[in-house]
Amino acid sequence: MKNKVIVIALGGNALISEGQRGTIAEQFENVRKSLDGIIYCIKRGYGVVITHGNGPQVGNMLLMVEASRNQVPELTLGVCVADTEGTIGYMIQQSLTNRLRKEGVDKCVVTVLTQVVVDKNDKAFLNPTKPIGPFFIKEEAERFHREKGWHVVEDSHRGYRRVVPSPKPLKIVEERAIKSLLEAGDIVIAAGGGGIPVVMKEDGDLEGVDVVIDKDLASSVLARDIKSDCLIMLTGVEHVFLNFKQPNERVLNALTVKEAQRYLKEGHFPEGSMGPKVQAAINFLTWGGESAIITSIDKVKDALEGLAGTKITNVFKSP
C-alpha cells in the first residue's frame, strides 16, 4: 500500500515570532525550532509536502521596493511573492536537510516555485480588501491611485495603504511535478505564501496578477490536487475554540464538516485569523480528503495521535 501523504501548512509564527525584527538569523532559528513535527511525520512514513506563509516577508520586500523606487526598476507584487517563496523555501529546505542528516534519514528536500491559478472573473477583483506594503500619507496615496491605478484606503488612522484582491485559488500549475517528487520519495516545499497568483488567458497562456492568495486555502487546493490524505494547519494555538478569549470559551477537540460549516456561518471564526483555516479544512474534506487538523507547531505528534489539536472529519465518511 502506498504511503499516506500529508500537507503541513506552517503558520507565520514558524518564521517570525512576536516581538522579533525578523532578521534572517532569527528566521533560520525559528524554522529549526519548527521541524520536530515534520521529522515525526517523515519517520512515520508519510509523504510530506510543506507550505508556509510569507506575509511579513512580502511586506518587508515592498518596503524595500518603495525605498529604492527612483534607483532600480520597480518589482510587481507577484514577483515579490515569487521571490519570498524562493527565499523562505531555501531556509526551510536547508534547515530540514541538515536536520535529516543528523537524524540519519536519507531524503532530498526540494522547493518548487508554485504558480496558483485564480479566476480573472472572481468577484474579489471588484472588491480589493487585503492591505499590503507600507503606509503612505494622503498625497502619496492619491498620486499612486492616479498614476498606478492602485486601490488605497485609510488604515486605522495610521495612514493610507494599498489594498489588493484576494481571489480563491483554483488549481496548482506544478501539480504533476510535485507528485513526481513525492513518488520519488522526496520532501516537497510548495505553494509558499499561497503561491504565485496567475490567471489563464484565452489562448491558454499564464499571466501573473497582483493579488494575494490565502495560504491555507491554497494549501487545501494543493492537498486536493496531489490527493493528500491529511491536511494539518499549524498556528499559534493548540485548538480551535468557540467564543475565543471570552468567559464562555470552549475548546473544540473534534468537528464534523457540518458542525464546522455551522460555526463558521455563525461568525465564531474571524476572517483574519481562524476563518480561512476552518474553511480550508471544509474545502479539503468536501473534495474527498480523510482528515484535517488545526493545532500549534509544537503539537503535531500529539495531534496525529489524537491527543491534541482540533480534528475535522468528513461527515459523509464513516469514522
Q: Which of 12, 37, 78, 309 is catalytic?
A: 12
Q: Which of 13, 59, 120, 159 is catalytic?
A: 13
* Residue 104 appears among annotated catalytic residues: no
Q: Give buried/exposed letters for 215-245 (b at 16+ CB in 10 A, else e).
A: bbbbbbbbbbbbebbbbbbbbebbbbbeeee
* Residue 277 appears among annotated catalytic residues: yes
Q: Which of 130, 168, 171, 227 is catalytic?
A: 130
Query: Does residue 92 come out as left (phi exceeding 0), alpha (psi in the -120 to 50 range) or beta?
Result: alpha
Q: Which three cell numbers stand for residue 71?
A: 534607483
What DSSP string describes 130-189? EEEEEEE-HHHHHHHHHHH--EEEE-TTS-EEEEE--PPEEEETTHHHHHHHHHTT-EEE
Q: Which of 179, 193, 194, 215 is catalytic?
A: 215
* Residue 301 appears among annotated catalytic residues: no
* Residue 148 appears among annotated catalytic residues: no
* Residue 215 appears among annotated catalytic residues: yes
Rg of the chain over CA atoms, in angstroms? 20
Helix (H) or strand (E) holding 291, with range, is: strand 291-296
- Rounded to 5 degrees, φ, ψ at 91 are -65, -45
DSSP code at position 218: H
Q: Which of 53, 89, 277, 309 is catalytic?
A: 277
Q: Which residues are catalytic?
A: 12-13, 130, 215, 277
